[in-house]
Structure formats: C-alpha cells, structure tokens
Amino acid sequence: MYKGDSGLSSKKYIILYMESLYFIDTTYEEREKAIQYFTKKYNKTVLNASLFKLQQIGLANNMGSLKIDGNLLMFTSIEPDGDGGTVVKGYNWVSPVGASEFRIILKIIDGQWKAVESKLLGVA
C-alpha cells in the first residue's frame, strides 16, 4: 500500500490506522514495532491515528481532507486466503478524492511476513 516517495506516497508523514478491529489482538509493543519499521524504512514521521482522531486533533477537516502532508494507510479487511497466506485490503488515503485501494497477499517466508502480491484495485 505504501511504496515510498512515488505518486500518492510522496508525503512527509505516514499515518498508520492501527486502532481498528483488525488490530484488537495486537499489543502496544507490536504496534510500536510497526511504527519503528516504517520510520526506519522510509525515514518519515509515523503516527498511529484514525481519520476521526486526526479530525479531533485538527489534522484533518470535517470532510476528511488531511491538513498535514501525509498518507493515511487504512485496512478494510484482513482474511485468510485458503493457501496459508493472508489477504489484506485497504487504502492509501490522502483525501476524500485522493486515495488508492490495494489488495495485498502476505505469506510467511523464512519466518517473516512477506508481500507476495500487491494489486492496485482503484485510484480516486
């Protein structure tokens, strides 16, 4: 969903939405590990917040446009793929009219989760 400094991913901030039901079984430490991974890999400031939270703290307007130069990565579904992997769907959100929808297949390879397929489903 995030490809570094290209297209919709060329923003200053990365905002990970890790407060949804898909992260209920994760610990604070696991979410911090994800934040540190993105920080180190992309050398950007990484936040953990929903669009609603961003609106509450003044970093997004009531229409859903971000007031900061960032990408909000949001998951819409996480399901097993029947072949030992996991299918993740979500958005790289910039604004109500600026988002990319993705479908990613993850598998455990050499003890680590790896993206084996990433498909762009749509762009607004």
As a three-state string, the secondary structure of 7-50 is HHHCCCEEEECCCCHHHCCCCHHHHHHHHHHHHHHHCCEEEECC
Residue 68 lies in a domain: yes
Q: Are 34 and 92 in contact (CB under 8 A)?
A: no
Tens-of-pLDDT digits for all 124 residues of the chain? 666 555 545 678 899 998 888 788 888 898 898 899 889 988 899 999 988 999 999 999 988 888 888 889 988 888 888 888 899 899 988 888 888 999 999 998 998 888 899 999 999 8
Residue 2 lies in a domain: no
Residue 1 lies in a domain: no
Residue 62 lies in a domain: yes
- Total tally of structural domains belonging to the chain: 1
**Number of C-alpha atoms within 13 angstroms, CB side, residue 30?**
7
Indicate whether this model's pTM tops 0.85: no
- The tokens describing 27, both together, are 């610990």
Q: Are 19 and 31 in contact (CB under 8 A)?
A: no
Q: Are 46 and 79 in contact (CB under 8 A)?
A: no
Residue 54 lies in a domain: yes
Residue 32 lies in a domain: yes
Residue 95 lies in a domain: yes
| Full residue range of the structural domain in which residue 102 is found | 7-123
